[in-house]
């Protein structure tokens, strides 16, 4: 089946309804065969008390885009994804605007996916560097 970027972006945004991704206004904006990109606004709703982007919001963006990216590689009827580990290094502060999370595959095994997620600002400055490990689990038959 041919890669359909528009279909993937539409699906990712659709399954974000009524979730943390919708609450944080995360929007999927680009996709490729080995990457997925989402953006998130930086405003007072996701600031920490010092008026800067909360590190937890950055991690939520990273896990959201990395987990959605893993879903691109599985058969949804047979398997599902679970994040099992995430780490983040916050390198620069952001007060406003947007941050962009780009997940790129490092390892795509049958049971483990490892992603690098770079979070940048609108000027492409690196804000956070994250690593996410997802487990591919068999879907339980009901």
pLDDT digits (tens, 9 = 90+) for 107-136: 999 999 999 999 999 999 999 999 999 999
Task: Give the pLDDT score at 1.
Answer: 58
Distance CA 34, CA 72 (A): 9
Q: Tens of pLDDT along 26-60?
A: 999 999 999 999 999 999 999 999 999 999 999 99
Which class for 31: exposed (0-12), middle (13-18), buried (19 or more C-beta within 10 A)? buried
With pLDDT > 70 as the criterion, what percentage of the chain qualifies?
99
CA atoms within 13 A on the CB side of 118: 10
Catalytic residue among 22, 27, 33, 63: 63
Q: Show the domain range for 28.
A: 5-138
Distance CA 83, CA 96 (A): 28
First to last CA, the chain: 28
Is 94 a residue whose pLDDT tops 80? yes
CATH number at residue 50: 3.10.129.10
Q: For residue 102, which phi and psi values (nearest 5 degrees)?
A: -115, 115
With pLDDT > 90 as the criterion, what percentage of the chain qualifies?
90
Per-residue pLDDT, averaged over 65-74, amounts to 95
Question: DSSP character for 82?
Answer: E
Average pLDDT of every residue of the chain: 95
**What is the band of 141 on the pLDDT scale with cuts at 50, 70, 90?**
confident
For the question of whether the overall pTM of this predicted structure is more than 0.85, the answer is yes
In the chain, the number of structural domains is: 1
Q: Is residue 25 among the annotated active site residues?
A: no
Is 2 a residue whose pLDDT tops 80? no
């Amino acid at each position: 089946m041919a890669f359909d970027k528009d279909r993937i972006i539409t699906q990712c945004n659709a399954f974000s309804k009524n979730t943390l991704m919708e609450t944080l206004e995360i929007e999927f904006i680009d996709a490729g065969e080995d990457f997925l990109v989402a953006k998130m606004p930086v405003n007072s709703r996701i600031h920490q008390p010092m008026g800067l982007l909360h590190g937890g919001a950055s991690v939520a963006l990273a896990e959201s885009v990395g987990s959605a990216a893993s879903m691109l590689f599985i058969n949804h009827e047979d398997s599902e994804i679970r994040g099992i580990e995430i780490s983040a290094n916050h390198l620069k502060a952001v007060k406003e605007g947007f941050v962009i999370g780009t997940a790129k595959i490092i390892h795509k095994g049958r049971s483990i996916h490892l992603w690098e997620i770079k979070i940048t600002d609108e000027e492409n400055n690196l804000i956070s560097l994250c690593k996410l490990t997802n487990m591919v689990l068999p879907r339980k038959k009901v």
